[in-house]
Amino acid sequence: MYWEKEVETMDRSALAGLQLGRLNESLTRARGSAFYGKRFAGGASSEGAQPAYAGTPAQPGGYAGTPAKPAGSSIELSGLEELTDLPFTTKDDLRNAFPYGFLTVDLQEVIRLHSSSGTTGNPTVVFHTPRDIDHWGNLIARCMYTTGVRKQDVFQNMMGYGLFTGGLGFHYGAEKLGVMTIPIGPGNSKRQIWFLKHLKATVIHILPSYALRLYSFFEEMQLDPKKDLHLRIAFIGAEPHSEEIRRKIEELYGIKVYNSYGLSEMCGPGVAFECECQVGLHVWEDHFYPEIIDPVSGEVLPEGERGELVLTTLTREAMPLIRYRTRDLTRFLPGECPCGRTHRRIDRITGRSDDMLIINGVNIFPIQIEKTLMAIPEIGRNYLIEINKENFMDRLSVKVEINEEVFHGTLAELEKLQIKAVAALRAELGVTPNVKLVEPSSLPVSEGKVRRVYDYRGGEQGGL
């Protein structure tokens, strides 16, 4: 049931000890980069451009002891709580330091670059040493094993390969686990279904929006994924999505669906993952130290309160990040998980701190709209949110597809549905939206990440 029982079920005080040792090592290593070297200047940062970390062995036990810190360093922490005295690192810091400002090793030690999609300014680039890649693969193997994937499974990886971390991250993890991996990537739905059917894939990794879209191709090909496939598990991630969407995918395909969380700045997927209990995602605390902060004040919030997730890498070699603001909103779930793992769980991501929409002074997260729409059976699987200015007021419009399975062909039922959707959204949001019913497949669909929010109030903003 556990991939690495000792680590996954380690008691909290031992885990804290492991974290502190690795944290101090990370801080020391971070000072080898131009960015942190400058930020943490004041101590003896004489190691400069010749960091000696690339050869550190990949044994988990190798970190538990006192890190080899340079004499006179001013940032040796004596407790994890002291981390809150250090400043945050932001995505803008990464952009401004493009390309090598965060790199702590010589380029010849680097074997991989990933980059996150950025529409403005420099992209964010993240570097990996062989050991970083090895750790990452091991984390994904741990995630997959946790949900019951074993060597005999067949894994069809429908996430994008390339600069995006979703495809390659899972690919290496699945191989480490010993699972036959079909590196098909996203798109070409009919071919996806052909492979699923004929190679009897049992496990998939897919964007939640694509899982819903793919289902319509099964209908078209007159196949039933419950009867015609051997699928049993799906991993979904890379897009914020509601619990209702997860349950819908489970129901449509007759499988178990697990939430995956990660971001390319940390490594990619593999930062936090659901176990078989499907209640929250365990943050792999032997590799990442999580905090939840108030996104406005920056203060660490009391356990259980919702705020922005901040992560510090504990084992990353090429590019350690200290108190990185993920912009993802979540909270720690209280209590212990019945699975026996001691690593704390975060709740599903309910949005990004920069995704929040302010409509006439009311704060709204797109996920609230999704959750409300998915609870109305007459509404289909796709939707789009638009915000306009009308007479100096914000106007929220939601375009929804109707569910053809419950369409009886009368105008009256459509008028009722429209009224029902407006009422449900008003109750959830406290704002009265304009609901437009649109034909299925008339909304833009993509096989990559779906952009569902279009804000037309003076300059576009707010895509997911």
Partner 1 sequence: MGVQLSVFLENKPGKLEAITKILSQAGINIRGISMASEGEFGVLKVLVNKPGKAHEVLKREHFTVSERNVVVAIVDDRPGALHDLLLTLSSQKINIEDCYGIVLEEGGEAAIVLDIEAYPQAEKVLAQKGTRLLSDGELYSL
- Residue ranges that bind partner 1, judged by CB under 8 A: 220, 402, 404, 407-411, 414-415, 436-442
Q: Which tokens is 375 given?
A: 């609870």
Q: Which of 431/438 has CB closer to partner 1?
A: 438
- Kindly state the smallest distance separating residue 381's Cβ from partner 1, in Å: 12
- Where do the H-state alpha helices sit in 201-263? 208-220, 225-228, 243-253
- Kindly state the smallest distance separating residue 226's Cβ from partner 1, in Å: 21
In DSSP terms, 269 is beta-bridged to 262
Q: What contacts 130, CB < 8 A, 6 or more positions away?
A: 111
Nearest C-alpha neighbor of 125 from the set 146, 104, 95, 154: 95
Task: Judge residue 227's burial from the number of C-beta atoms within 10 Å of its C-beta, 0-12 exposed, 13-18 middle, 19 or more buried.
Answer: exposed
Q: Provide the CA 125 distance to its chain's centre, in angstroms.
A: 17
- Kindly state the smallest distance separating residue 407's Cβ from partner 1, in Å: 5
How far is the C-alpha of 67 from the C-alpha of 29, rounded, in Å?
A: 10
Give yes or no for a contact between 272 and 258, defined as CB atoms under 8 angstroms apart: no
- Kindly state the smallest distance separating residue 421's Cβ from partner 1, in Å: 13
- Kindly state the smallest distance separating residue 227's Cβ from partner 1, in Å: 21
Q: Which of 86/414 has CB closer to partner 1?
A: 414
- Kindly state the smallest distance separating residue 220's Cβ from partner 1, in Å: 7
* Single-letter amino acid, residue 44: A
Q: Which of 278/434 has CB closer to partner 1?
A: 434
161-184 b/e with 16+ CB inside 10 Å = b? bebbbbbbbbbbbbbbbebebbbb
- Kindly state the smallest distance separating residue 406's Cβ from partner 1, in Å: 9
Angle between helical axes of 208-220 and 243-253 (0-180°, round to 10): 30
Q: Which of 22/395 has CB closer to partner 1?
A: 395
- Kindly state the smallest distance separating residue 250's Cβ from partner 1, in Å: 24
Residue 209: C-alpha distances to residues 255, 449, 452 (Å): 16, 8, 10
Give yes or no for a contact between 303 and 330, defined as CB atoms under 8 angstroms apart: no
- Kindly state the smallest distance separating residue 380's Cβ from partner 1, in Å: 9
Q: Which of 193/231 has CB closer to partner 1?
A: 193
Phi and psi angles of residue 54, each rounded to the nearest 5 degrees, phi first = -60, -25
Q: Which of 303/404 has CB closer to partner 1?
A: 404
- Where do the H-state alpha helices sit in 31-100? 34-39, 91-96
Q: Which of 92/439 has CB closer to partner 1?
A: 439
- Kindly state the smallest distance separating residue 419's Cβ from partner 1, in Å: 11
Q: Which of 271/379 has CB closer to partner 1?
A: 379
| CA max distance for the chain | 79
Q: Which of 434/461 has CB closer to partner 1?
A: 434
How far is the C-alpha of 261 from the C-alpha of 277, rounded, in Å?
A: 16
Q: Which of 183/440 has CB closer to partner 1?
A: 440
At residue 294's C-alpha, the angle toward residues 293 and 300, to 5°, is 40
Q: How many residues does the chain have?
A: 464
